[in-house]
Structure 1
């Protein structure tokens, strides 16, 4: 079915034209269904959402609603039935997953206005749809992060709480609820310290919290003597309190962390030892983290092995730009023999300590796989099996992408394999080409499928002047419009600098990306080599 407005394009100044422009800008599509017909009209944008043409587009408003995801179908049917009911609402609204022509599921936000006859029967529903898959994925991730954070807060052996400006509890963890003699945090929310403690303690705590909110200064490591009116006995806690400031810089209240030190107070020497040990451990942790940063920076230095005869050696260059203290990107140049080198670049999922640990594990596995260093496929396969085994034992979900290339001057050959990583660029007499550009030339990321294979790609060194490996931090750099740099621009940037030295080319590529974007949102690694002729 085709609406009259599509028979002749509307002038932009008309209402229809404005609607078309608005829908295009909002990325929404429109739909129109006469409830007494099986056919339904979908605009071209909706057909793109459904990934099918006019002749294959399902009317998922018709029973048995097989195009609607099983988990969403009951709610969808209820909402639709409510809209079709003569006494139902004038608006049909639902968010659900719809099956697409590519055998995938896509989240759609569906809105429609119900048209009724004089008896109230629904004769027509028309409205809009928009793809909200990314938003739903983000919401699911946020919800999972919240769940993990709540689990941490509830199980950590500390009393954690947030209070409003009147010092009433807004949020407490399970430990805090039990400390106050309640079974669940909900039983504490809305209450005040005076509901649990005698005047001597709650008044002092109240005054401290007012001071924190007024001055913006924290009170840390204060020993509080908690006195109660019941027979549970006095307790001692070591408390730290901080101003609760929202994202706009406004004071919302205070929050704090308390730990039971009753037994420690009874033995002052133990308290002193505890405080000293805590300080020592904190210092040790900071020193270890700093050491980890320094080691990462040292390993990413520009000290490369000598490969090839004097005056006819491989030239290497690299750029390493981590966005945090502990990065998940790294590279390695392996000296296999006097005329053969292996070049590895790797990108571990995420950032921080977890990623740094995986980097350390992979670096440890490199030496173990040295016997396969001349065979890229076997080399990546060994790394994958080793990492998969470690992650399985740790019951951890992590992965890394990698690209490994072997420059064999004796055989005059470049051999490479890819593990879910962007393919390296080859600059040669024929211009710039990307290796592992096809799906069947790449294997999965490391740590995902334990027994995965990694196809090998070969190239004569006559076709190679320079080889450039990189991580996706360059490709994902975005400009003010949210547009990513991507492979095409990188290929152009490399091609434009073919006459420059290797170092100049690397600096120029980084400068080009930075001039395109406002900076990097992910770690960036570049590793390049120049083949002697």
Structure 2
């Protein structure tokens, strides 16, 4: 761009100066083309975009437009023809890929003002260009993430759906479409339950959804009889949740259901199968936690009562997700009288994909209850189930986990690790790391289907407290970029040994936040702790 004349009026010089500064700040370049000439003016910034010198830069707007990417040539030509049309728009606007002087490609946003003479002929087009390659790359990555998420949803063996405030479907997975007799999810969008079911069923379902929207409270584990006019009745175990946007406003409902027809029919045919049906329903109830995780509605602090005549376990937890959809979760399982399992997991990444994997792990956890007393076997079951689902979905995900069993009857602590930070145990000998050695650790869940997870044992005489945590606690950094790490965590736990369990957890979080540069966490943080307390002999209920 030419410099302003030294003799130009002061106001004009200032205006030109402001224009140059504004263009520099916006990273835009200027072009100017008199359409009866082959020559075109490019500012220095555009020449940098095109990686060309002033004498070698092509006129992009002259045919055959060879520097325009072949996939963009049709749209480019259409926009250019509009600019030369006497009744065309006043603005030339096109985003396209252009070949640079080095042979690479650059995405440019091209804008130009069209100047026409009195007869409507285009005589001049001038405007700006800006490099939008990073934005286009980000858009492509978002689209790929959406594709992966859709694949995962469509391969989960459950019916998943979202409905608007009028109870009309706005999103369903393939399983849900097939359940309603349709080949594709698109054939279900916009329809109501009345389009598939008899009045008694769809009316009750619509009333449930209205209640969920009015109260913002979920309905979970409801057994529904689905009555159709043209098919036999089916039974599903369903859970429905309020669908909220990021601002907390109600958008409708979403839900998860699973087919339990065979179980209900078996119950109806034989009363003695009722107990088996109840256990299976409990398993399905764990699977429907998928939707609960999507809304970050699961962070339970209700713990089971685990004790013997001599000892009792108390539990504490802290859950600090950094976003609406986190990948950390924990669970305390009452295995039998005097025996409890403590599980903590951290799923790769954040957002919807991580939340869906969390939900699947919760469903798999319920299916592994029979092996819950043996940590290595328990983690092997979780790993095999997760690897199988991810393989079918062609998705690359994994989770780390630490699982410990407190057995008051055998007076021992059994534990296994799947690529997770070592748990900390405090006792008469101070604070020690569990599964700190390489031979005590297995790989993350979902990576190697046949992976093994060694089980280690520690006498409860050496354990007064146990603390499990996710790596967000260790990764908090100070102003010099140094992470908190395990040594500082061990000291924090040791400093709080005389405090009540809940106060100790608060103290650990405070120590980490005080250490952190921004007094906040950069990753999800999950803490699960147990304290072994002696009690006076008294009758113990089963």
Counterpart residue number, 1:434? none
**TM-score computed with the length of structure 1 as normaliser:** 0.52
- Distance in 2 (CA, whole Å) between partners of 1:522 and 1:208 is 36
Alignment of 1:119-158 (within 5 A): 119-158=119-158
The question of whether the paired residues in 2 share the 8 Å contact of 1:162 and 1:169 is answered with yes
Counterpart residue number, 2:261? 262
Alignment of 1:131-280 (within 5 A): 131-228=131-228, 230-268=229-267, 269=273, 270-277=276-283
The question of whether the paired residues in 2 share the 8 Å contact of 1:11 and 1:17 is answered with no
CA shift, 1:143, in A, is 0.7
Counterpart residue number, 2:74? 74
Counterpart residue number, 1:117? 117
CA shift, 1:82, in A, is 2.2
Q: Secondary structure at the match of 2:38?
A: coil
- Distance in 1 (CA, whole Å) between partners of 2:38 and 2:67 is 15
The question of whether the paired residues in 2 share the 8 Å contact of 1:30 and 1:127 is answered with yes
- Distance in 2 (CA, whole Å) between partners of 1:38 and 1:23 is 25
The question of whether the paired residues in 2 share the 8 Å contact of 1:33 and 1:124 is answered with yes
Alignment of 1:350-499 (within 5 A): 351=349
What are the Cα deviations for residues 391-419 of structure 1, in whole angstroms up to 9, with x where unaligned?
Answer: xxx99889xxxxxxxxxxxxxxxxxxxxx
CA shift, 1:5, in A, is 5.0
Cα separation, partners in 2 of 1:6 and 1:20, compared to 1, 3 Å: farther
CA shift, 1:64, in A, is 2.0
The question of whether the paired residues in 1 share the 8 Å contact of 2:110 and 2:129 is answered with yes
Counterpart residue number, 1:102? 102
* Count of residues paired in the alignment: 319
Q: Secondary structure at the match of 1:92?
A: strand
Q: Secondary structure at the match of 2:152?
A: helix
Quick one: higher RCO (CA 8 Å, sep 6+), 1 or 2? 2
Name the stretch that deviates more: 114-123 or 167-176: 167-176
CA shift, 1:231, in A, is 2.2
Counterpart residue number, 2:92? 92
- Distance in 2 (CA, whole Å) between partners of 1:5 and 1:74 is 39
Cα separation, partners in 2 of 1:514 and 1:21, compared to 1, 3 Å: farther
Q: Secondary structure at the match of 1:243?
A: strand
What are the Cα deviations for residues 413-449 of structure 1, in whole angstroms up to 9, with x where unaligned?
Answer: xxxxxxxxxxxxxxxxxxxxxxxxxxxxxxxxxxxxx
What are the Cα deviations for residues 40-77 of structure 1, in whole angstroms up to 9, with x where unaligned?
Answer: 11222222222333223222112222221122122212
What are the Cα deviations for residues 475-499 of structure 1, in whole angstroms up to 9, with x where unaligned?
Answer: xx9xxxxxxx9xxx99xxxxxxxxx
What are the Cα deviations for residues 101-122 of structure 1, in whole angstroms up to 9, with x where unaligned?
Answer: 3332111111111111122221
- Distance in 2 (CA, whole Å) between partners of 1:22 and 1:47 is 18
What are the Cα deviations for residues 77-125 of structure 1, in whole angstroms up to 9, with x where unaligned?
Answer: 2221221233322211111111223332111111111111122221111
- Distance in 2 (CA, whole Å) between partners of 1:351 and 1:11 is 55
Name the stretch that deviates more: 16-25 or 5-14: 5-14
Q: Secondary structure at the match of 2:72?
A: helix
The question of whether the paired residues in 2 share the 8 Å contact of 1:12 and 1:18 is answered with no
Counterpart residue number, 1:358? none
Alignment of 1:278-289 (within 5 A): none
Counterpart residue number, 2:55? 55
Cα separation, partners in 2 of 1:184 and 1:222, compared to 1, 3 Å: same
Cα separation, partners in 2 of 1:7 and 1:133, compared to 1, 3 Å: farther
Counterpart residue number, 2:316? none
Counterpart residue number, 2:64? 64
What are the Cα deviations for residues 341-386 of structure 1, in whole angstroms up to 9, with x where unaligned?
Answer: xxxxxxxxx748999xxxxxxxxxxxxxxxxxxxxxxxxxxxxxxx
Which ranges of structure 2 fall in alignment gaps of 5 or more residues?
A: 268-272, 294-321, 329-347, 355-392, 398-476, 482-511, 525-542
Cα separation, partners in 2 of 1:277 and 1:204, compared to 1, 3 Å: closer
Q: Secondary structure at the match of 2:103?
A: coil
- Distance in 1 (CA, whole Å) between partners of 2:522 and 2:12 is 39
- Distance in 2 (CA, whole Å) between partners of 1:84 and 1:30 is 20
CA shift, 1:32, in A, is 0.9
The question of whether the paired residues in 1 share the 8 Å contact of 2:98 and 2:107 is answered with yes
RMSD across aligned positions (CA): 4.2
CA shift, 1:281, in A, is 9.0
Q: Secondary structure at the match of 2:209?
A: helix
- Distance in 1 (CA, whole Å) between partners of 2:5 and 2:82 is 31
Counterpart residue number, 1:24? 24
- Distance in 2 (CA, whole Å) between partners of 1:145 and 1:89 is 36
